[in-house]
Homo-oligomer: A and B are copies of this chain.
């Protein structure tokens, strides 16, 4: 696989086994084969492209995704605020296009991450994304997590579901004491309903807002993504204080 970047910064992730047709001419497959990462290749019309070796992050950015797919900033926050690191035991649901699962699995590696999905069409998209990204440490289950979690002794459970509160009791049985149940919800009403069920957890709800700057003119860009989701980090304390 190759990552090509044109002079305007547009990025293309290609296999390289066929010639690649751009708006500015053709990049020859046989030419590309000879190039090392960091070199420049030209189309037959002289347009230049940088040739790089794609990273896992490039695969994730270029994955096929639905309109509501989770953003990198939120993947990032989920991983760091719940302390995910190599070897962490993680369950994720629902899979959707698999972006969050891929991101987290790239950190837990080589530990396997399990992701639950009930829709077969989503599962197929996700499996293709995992394959393209060369990620092998994800196990996808076609199962409804509202009905239970098979895994035990987990460090983190991540939820991107319409009714996350239905997982809270299952999570108590599956998390290690000190483990995190994380829920990602676009609406604050969902978040509130989830929060109200978190007996025995210590929780925090946050939004992560990224503001991009245009450094040529030294000002923020005019438009930005204002909202993706509220993320609740609930740490399971392992037992409830009797009230």
Q: Mark A176-200, 1 if CB is under 8 A from B, else 0.
A: 1110000000111101100100000
Given A221-B226, A223-B224, A239-B39: A85 and B73 interface contact (C-beta under 8 Å):
no
- Alpha-carbon gap, A124 to B50, bound state (A): 42
| Among candidates B186, B187, B215, B238, residue contacting A205 with C-beta atoms closer than 8 Å | B215
Chain B residue with Cβ nearest A220 = B227
A52 cross-chain contacts in B, Cβ below 8 A: 177-178, 237-238
Interface of chain A residues 197 through 220 with chain B (CB within 8 A): 202-213, 215, 217-220
A122 cross-chain contacts in B, Cβ below 8 A: none
- Alpha-carbon gap, A176 to B72, bound state (A): 23
Asked whether, in the complex, the Cβ of B206 is within 8 Å of the Cβ of A213, the reply is yes
State which of A17-25, A76-84, A163-171 sits at the interface with chain B: A76-84
- Alpha-carbon gap, A195 to B212, bound state (A): 14
- Alpha-carbon gap, A221 to B205, bound state (A): 10
Let me know if A161 is at the binding interface, CB within 8 A: no
Total number of A residues with any Cβ neighbor in B under 8 Å: 78
State which of A53-61, A91-99, A143-151 sits at the interface with chain B: A53-61
- By CB atoms of chain B within 10 A, which of A77, A221, A226 has the most? A226
Asked whether, in the complex, the Cβ of B215 is within 8 Å of the Cβ of A206, the reply is no
Asked whether, in the complex, the Cβ of A3 is within 8 Å of the Cβ of B106, the reply is no
Asked whether, in the complex, the Cβ of B7 is within 8 Å of the Cβ of A38, the reply is no
- By CB atoms of chain B within 10 A, which of A54, A55, A223 has the most? A55
A9 cross-chain contacts in B, Cβ below 8 A: 202
Chain B residue with Cβ nearest A40 = B239
